[in-house]
Structure 1
Amino acid sequence: MRVAMIGQKGLPAAYGGVERHVEELSTRLAKRGIEVTVYNRRWFSDYQKKTFQGIRVVTTPTLHTKHFDTITHTLTSTIHALITHHDIIHFHGVGPSLLSWIPRIFSPHTVVITTFHCIDRKHKKWGGFARIMLRLGEWSTCRFAHKIIAVSKTIAAYALAVYDCTAIYIPNGINPVKPITNSEQIIQNQFGLTHNNYVAVVTRLIPHKGIHHLITAFTGLNTKKKLVIVGGGHFTDLYVKRLHELTHGDKRIIFTGFQSGAALHALYEHAALVVQPSELEGLSISLLEAMNYGRPLLASDIDENREALSDYGWYFKSGNSADLARQLKKLLATPRITLERRAKIGQVYVNNLFNWDTITSDTLHLYEKLVAVKPGKKRRAVAAAFRLAK
């Protein structure tokens, strides 16, 4: 079976939820004998090899701008995938799925799947025209994909309510934590931190992630703990500048930039508290990872966070800096043993429910089921596509 993954920025996944999802899924599929092609954007990674952990890596052209990067890369990748004959084209995200009609018309025997990762049109970084296109991408996802995967039950319910479209729930996942040596020395040497002396947030620095609310809340707290912001911007330079201005020179606030590997592991492991202040999510991998490390977790009360965190963390009102400050003050004054007890139960919970091996098995079962029933002849596919477009 040959599968093409389209929509992600590329491999290796230095950052990004979709990129992490595609890497974790693709590497496991490759180990199970599936021929997987992942399409890269040249600017995303310096990786030059044509294979990555058994995956074929193909770099196709793109216009590296905020509004045209994804759609142009999707177009060139889709054309390449059709020319090289794949059994399945798997789009990741509703933006890339805007072009899911192309294989339906020009390669009717190819199975088309889209994973609905997030309601992207609600992201604050997009203007009016981009939001219209992303809304059209949602419609295309629900009209042209043979099957739709939703990474959260909230997204599945949205697709059903808005588009009368049934999506299969297959979530994001995590890997069991493997201990590393000298992790406390890593955070001390690289960032001047010690065990339990900081609050951490791990995210991209884009408006809907709510970092401005966290900075506003933290600067008003009387605490010796530090706030460590792990991540960087993406076409959001003005927002990142605004975040730095919001600190008003507070020396307790540290921006580390993007981190991965041992450094990211250590930052999670030694945090006194992890905060997830996002106003919009699909199913946050950074939230799942914080639970996986057994860290006490404070999250915004959006449905997607409640779905993942359940009763194993604490919440504040989304978008409300004052409530976030109240909850931070309360948790930082709570005995460690109380926080750790709930977090450790959450660690067991997340490993049972959000396991990448199970997720891979569920996805592979879907692939096999769809490939076993090949789509119809070209004339029927063309007629169906135009009928659905009416």
Structure 2
Amino acid sequence: MRIGILGTRGVPNYHGGFEQFAEFFSVYLAKQGHEVSVYNSSCHPYQNKNFKGVNIIHCYDPEDKIGTAGQFIYDLKCILDARKRGFDVLLQLGYTSSTVWYKLLPKKALIITNMDGLEWKRSKYSKPVQRFLKFAEKLAVISSDYLIADSIGIQNYLKNTYNINSEYIAYGAEIFNTPNQHILSEYNLEPYSYNMLIARLEPENNIETILDGVASSNNKTPFIVVGKHDVNAFGAYLKDKFKHQPHIHFVGGIYNLEHLNNLRYYSNLYFHGHSVGGTNPSLLEAMSSRALIIANDNEFNKTILKENAFYFKSGDDVKNYLETVLKADHQDKLDNCNNQIIKYFNWNLINKKYLDFFNACISEH
């Protein structure tokens, strides 16, 4: 097959979940003998035309000059380029800035869209933007030949809202089994003597709730906040609010997967505050890294973690866990999370599910 992947900043991953999936899946496709192309932003640090057998198509992206509006121009450029490529399948990852151009999508390619999370629910967006995103979601449903939901919650939502079927395929992760505690020295940390979170610093990730609990707790061991804190007003607000809490450390974004895995592996408690969207990649990575997870109490997280985590709703819950829970006492939860990754979320399984779905769609069409 000739397969195109758009909707990301590009590969290799320097940004987030979709980029990481695009990297793993595209390389898998190339190894299976398919001709696969990934669209990369012109701002992406990787400027070569090939990555591990994957064609890289660079398209103009003015986001660094004009902000969010640049994403619409970038997606337009990608879609116009895709019209010339003769793809059998065009996989769209998300829809927030691409579906307004849906009438320009190539007619001969099968359009398969991963519907991402409930973007219009994200509290960082104003009411007009939320209304637009709800409209964009509807356009994605209308303009796609097939839909993929990355969680049961999203699959149920699509069925209940649009009376449309979607294929449930989660994200993947790899079991982390090469710990190296020397990496902790780069962050001035000691094994199992710190707690942490990894997230974009956005309101719906419940970071303020978590840090309120950290600040009020009698447990003053280091708390590491991993995520870009200098790209939005909320990040600046959080840094200012907790600047008098010397045990809370904003370390910025970290994209070295070995470092992230070791930080998770050697943490005492790992807080996952995401409340909007489907299967979050960082949650699966935490499970595969033997992190003891304290997750926000919502359907998306519970579907994945089941009884193998603790759940919080408030800062008081966070405070209580910090003062009473030790990782060493809950090895059964860590083992169960590892087993879940091996059985349901390993990358080979997820990649094969996508490819099998593509083949089924082509056969059906």
SS at match of 2:83: helix
Contact kept, 8 Å, 2:229 with 2:250, in 1: the verdict is no
- For 2:142, the aligned partner's letter is R
Rounded to whole Å, the distance in 2 between the matches of 1:351 and 1:328 is 29
Stretches of structure 1 lacking an aligned partner (at least 5 in a row): 375-390
Q: Distance between the aligned counterparts of 2:194 and 2:125, measured in 1? A: 32
Q: Is the 8 A contact 1:16 1:204 kept in 2?
A: no
Aligned equivalents of 1:30, 1:234: Cα separation in 2? 36
Cα separation, 2, equivalents of 1:63 and 1:349: 41
Cα contact 1:103–1:112 (8 A) shared by 2? no
Residues 316-366 of structure 1: CA deviation (Å, up to 9, x unaligned):
11xx222222233232xx4x4322222222211222111111111111112
Residue 302 of structure 2 corresponds to residue 326 of structure 1: no
Q: Are the equivalent residues in 1 in contact too, given 2:76–2:98 (CA < 8 A)?
A: no
2:346 alignment partner AA: N
Count of residues in Structure 1 that have an aligned counterpart in Structure 2: 362
Closer/same/farther in 2, CA of residues 149 and 276 from structure 1, 3 Å limit: same
Work out whether residues 206 and 275 of structure 2, in 8 Å CA contact, stay in contact via their aligned partners in 1.
Answer: yes
Output aligned runs, 1:1-390, within 5 Å.
1-43=1-43, 45-64=44-63, 65-99=66-100, 101-103=102-104, 107-180=106-179, 183-188=180-185, 190-233=186-229, 235-236=231-232, 238-259=233-254, 260-317=256-313, 320-331=314-325, 334=326, 336-374=327-365
Q: Shift of the alpha carbon at 1:252?
A: 0.8
Aligned-pair identity (%): 23
Could you say what the CA RMSD is over the residues aligned between the two structures, in angstroms? 1.7
* Offset at residue 34 of structure 1 (A): 1.5
Q: Residues 229 and 236 of structure 2 are in contact (CA less than 8 Å); yes or no, is this contact kept in structure 1?
A: no
1: CA distance, partners of 2:266 / 2:282? 15
Show CA shifts across 1:81-110 (max 9, x none): 111221111111121451463355xx3221
Rounded to whole Å, the distance in 1 between the matches of 2:329 and 2:324 is: 12
Which residue identity lines up with residue 257 of structure 2 in the other structure?
Answer: G
Q: Structure 2 counterpart of 1:79, which letter?
A: L
Q: Is the 8 A contact 1:100 1:140 kept in 2?
A: no
Separation in structure 2 between the aligned mates of residue 286 and residue 167 of structure 1, nearest angstrom: 23
Residues of 2 paired with 1:99 and 1:368: CA distance?
A: 27
Q: Counterpart of 2:94 in structure 1: which amino acid?
A: G
- Gapped runs of 5+ residues in structure 2? none
Task: State the secondary structure of the residue aligned to 2:235.
Answer: helix
Structure 1 residues 99 and 371, CA gap change in structure 2 (3 angstroms): farther
Cα distance in 2 for partners of 1:191, 1:262 equals 14
The answer (yes or no) to whether the contact 2:10–2:19 under 8 Å persists in 1 is: yes
Instruction: Please say if residues 175 and 356 of structure 1, whose CA atoms lie closer than 8 Å, have aligned partners that are also in contact.
Output: yes
Scaled by the length of structure 2, the TM-score of the pair is 0.94
